[in-house]
Amino acid sequence: MKVGIMGGTFDPIHYGHLLAAERAREACGLDEVWFIPSFQPPLKDNEPNADTNARLEMVYRAIDFQPHFRAMDIELERGGTSYSIDTVKSLQENYPGRTFSYIIGSDRVNDLPQWHRIEELARIVAFIGVERPGESIDVSSLPVYIQDRLTIIGMPLIDISSTEIRQRQADKRSIRFMVPEKVYSFIKRNALYEKPE
């Protein structure tokens, strides 16, 4: 069974994440995509804005009724810095018989050489890269051991980021149609990302 890992801060999850997962599933013949929210993403300086329960709940709402998508809380349960090497090793131990690939956007593809224990990680997992606006994938500057494990797939450029959603929400501008309706209603009901008056 082939599983794609869609890891992220998901603060909040948005249509860019969902389309990347779906196009990777189709292009690479993945049986399932597992969405794994990070507790603390390794290369981001700031702590996530929404708490872990809210970020996980938004992922559940976004993938509700999608037969090939699952959400897993293993990084939230583990706590600490969410290194992918720890996640993949734990998945391999707990779910034998699966092969895992990481689905990542162009910003993360380009910083793969900075990932924790990347040489070891690249031996046990493959990477599926998707373009996102603002940063194009520069395959030739990546070490060969990463290039060998990387497949770039096509996807329409979706110019949506969680940062922009948080900023729009703080500025009281519209975030409708940037996130699924059930995520939208959760953000509004819980006043996430709003600036205190």
Ligand X SMILES: O=C(O)c1ccc[n+]([C@@H]2O[C@H](COP(=O)([O-])O)[C@@H](O)[C@H]2O)c1
> Of the listed pieces 10-18, 68-76, 140-148, 172-180, which binds ligand ATP according to CB under 6 A?
10-18
Spacing of C-alpha 114 from chain mean position: 17
Is residue 108 within the footprint of ligand ATP (CB under 6 A)? yes
Orientation of helix 15-28 relative to helix 52-63, angle to 10°? 50
User: Contact with ligand ATP (CB under 6 A): which of 39, 100, 127, 132?
Assistant: 132
Helix orientation angle between 181-189 and 52-63, rounded to the nearest 10 degrees: 150
Amino acid (one-letter) located at 159? D
Residues 6+ apart with CB under 8 A from 163: none
70 binds ligand X (CB under 6 A): no
- Examine residue 84 and tell whether it contacts ligand X (CB under 6 A): yes
169 binds ligand X, rule: CB under 6 A = no
Rg (CA), the chain: 16
Do the beta carbons of residue 8 and residue 37 sit within 8 Å? yes
Residues 135-154 that bind ligand X (CB under 6 A): none
Establish if 52 lies at the interface with ligand ATP (CB under 6 A).
no
End-to-end alpha carbon distance in the chain? 50
Our finding on whether 161 is near ligand ATP (CB under 6 A) is yes
Chain residues binding ligand X by CB under 6 A are 7-9, 38, 41-44, 82-85, 104, 108, 115-116
Chain residues binding ligand ATP by CB under 6 A are 8-11, 16-17, 20, 104-105, 107-108, 130, 132, 158, 160-163
